[in-house]
Amino acid sequence: MNLLTDPEMLLLLGGIGGLLTLSSLIGWALDRRVREAPARLVIANLNARIRSWWIMTAVFVAALATGGIGSVILFALTSFIALREFITLTPTHRADHRTLFWAFFIFAPVQYLLVGIQWYGLFAIFIPVYAFLFIPLRSALAGDTEDFLARTAKIQWGLMIAVYCVSHAPALLMLEIPGYQGEGAKLLLYLIIVVQLSDVLQYVFGKTLGKHRIVPRLSPNKTWEGTVGGIVAATLVGTLLWWVTPFTPWAAAVIALLICLTGFAGGLVMSAIKRDRGVKDFGTLIEGHGGILDRIDSLCFAAPVFFHVVRYYYT
């Protein structure tokens, strides 16, 4: 599929560009009008997030424009950085170094190679079965038994969340849906739009209307008003975008709601991990957002669920 000739894709990308332009204008106007120090900090963070969104959108569109291989490479690099952030946050021993070598330089690349060659049978079980069994064996051979279970589980969990789950996003390109062949890039863009828009709208509704916190000790910025408002609004957008998917409007509504709910679950779980480690963000790579894993925490949960729902019901 050529981005420059597909009218539906051009319409989607034009809508994203228009939304970012509008957000930039609002941020610029607020920056000129607001003078109170606390409010200016919020506006500064908002504008930093918008600038980062422009960059992330440009990179993502460039990857889509190169075809399937570009998307696979982009998500492979994303998983590598996310796994590094996760492992950095969860201390390991010297005895784990060879196990980590396998995680970073064998299992992660092979997982994305399987996506690239569209070998679904092995892609679906490679990390949950073979990597899962190999990691504790390799760690045991190192002979260090101190905190063995915890150390092994951290590496296994990092691979699952940062590599296996995320790899389901570009894996959408391998799905052969009757009457929708060669349109996998639209499904991938649909997933990204809904899950990220849900995050953004939860943030906006939370800042403007949020009063009642959901889990104060875990994520003080998540409120019932922000969460419900963001999920409802993003679900509505996902429903209105049914025409770019193989779904009916009602199916699009249900699937968009599922994406938003699983995305919310991902954000909550990853927040619990950060609180456990005593940090606010997984990293500092993305201005205004934190690390890569902070930006894709919702996608980690939403991508595999979306992939398997679509595969089960539409292929």
Question: Tens of pLDDT along the chain (315 residues)?
Answer: 566 578 889 899 999 999 999 989 998 998 888 778 777 787 888 888 889 899 999 999 988 888 789 999 999 999 999 999 999 988 788 889 999 999 999 999 999 999 999 999 999 999 999 999 999 999 999 999 999 999 999 999 999 999 999 999 999 999 999 999 889 999 999 999 999 999 999 988 988 888 888 988 887 788 999 999 999 999 999 999 999 999 999 999 999 999 999 999 999 999 999 999 989 899 988 887 789 999 999 999 999 999 999 999 998
If you ran DSSP here, which 8-state letter would residue 106 be given? I
Domain of residue 295, residue span = 186-315
Residue 296 corresponds to which amino acid?
A: I
**300 within domain boundaries:** yes
Whether 156 and 236 share a structural domain: no
Which three-class secondary structure state does DSSP give residue 196?
A: helix
Instruction: Give backbone dihedrals phi and psi of 58, rounded to 5 degrees, phi first.
Output: -60, -45
- Which pair of tokens denotes residue 240? 């209105």
If you ran DSSP here, which 8-state letter would residue 215 be given? S
pTM reported for the whole predicted model: 0.94
Task: Tell me how many domains the chain contains.
Answer: 3
Of the residues 124, 145, 174, the one at which a domain ends: 174
CA nearest to 256, candidates 187, 166, 181: 187
Whether 223 and 154 share a structural domain: no
CB atoms within 10 A of CB 45: 15
Whether 61 and 92 share a structural domain: no
